[in-house]
Amino acid sequence: MGVPYIPVRGLAGTDVFERRDDMIMAKNPFDTDEVTVVAVAQNPDVAILHARKADKDGNALLRRHGEDVMIAQASKRVIITAEEIVDRITPDEIGGEYISAINVTAVVHAPCGAHPTGVDGYYDMDLEHIDTYITASTDDASFRSYLERYVIGKTEAEYQRLVTARVLEPAR
């Protein structure tokens, strides 16, 4: 949006303003009888987004959610991971939201990169793995074991082999 702040109606009447400095109550300059919340613009250092397709220049096709484009435009640096790297993505692409290379810093080819969450048209979320994750999240030691089994000291390709070995196993 490129604006320094924006008025919003939510949160008015709460005490959050006593605890944080990114939102204040302010008078509407056009109608001073009205008071709204005014929130300072967020310009994050890095945005991380997972796309269906991207090209090596940084153009990408994401799920159809407007906020993804806004996130990319508001952030200083943008990392796109993508299921597929294709020759060229254009604004006319159908089946998703287009993000221009202008907004993208780096593109990574990451097939199955949303796992254990899903990507429409590619794969469903992995309920069994999410269950494993939830069980592992009970305390620090068990989550550390989960990370050591699947993530830390392993490459992404090794992670994918570990989790897809079971998924691809034929049902008995």
Partner 1 sequence: MRTKLVELSDAVKIISDGDEVVMSAGFTDSPMAMLREIARSDLKDLKVVGVVGGSINLDFLVGTGQAAVLDCCSIGFEPFQREAPNFDRYLKESRIYAMDNT
Chain residues that interact with partner 1, rule: CB under 8 A? 10-11, 16, 20, 42, 44-50, 56-58, 62-63, 65, 67-68, 70-71, 74-75, 77, 79, 81, 85, 101, 104-110, 112-120, 125, 130, 133-134, 137-139, 143, 147, 151-153, 156, 159
Choice between 25 and 147, CB closer to partner 1: 147
The answer to whether 50 touches 19, Cβ cutoff 8 Å, is no
CA distance 30 to 42: 24
Within 13 Å of residue 102, how many CA atoms lie on the same side as its CB? Answer: 7
**Minimum CB distance to partner 1, residue 117 (Å):** 4
Choice between 35 and 54, CB closer to partner 1: 54
The answer to whether 110 touches 83, Cβ cutoff 8 Å, is yes
**Minimum CB distance to partner 1, residue 99 (Å):** 12
The answer to whether 2 touches 34, Cβ cutoff 8 Å, is no
User: Which token pair is 80?
Assistant: 């796109």
**Minimum CB distance to partner 1, residue 168 (Å):** 18
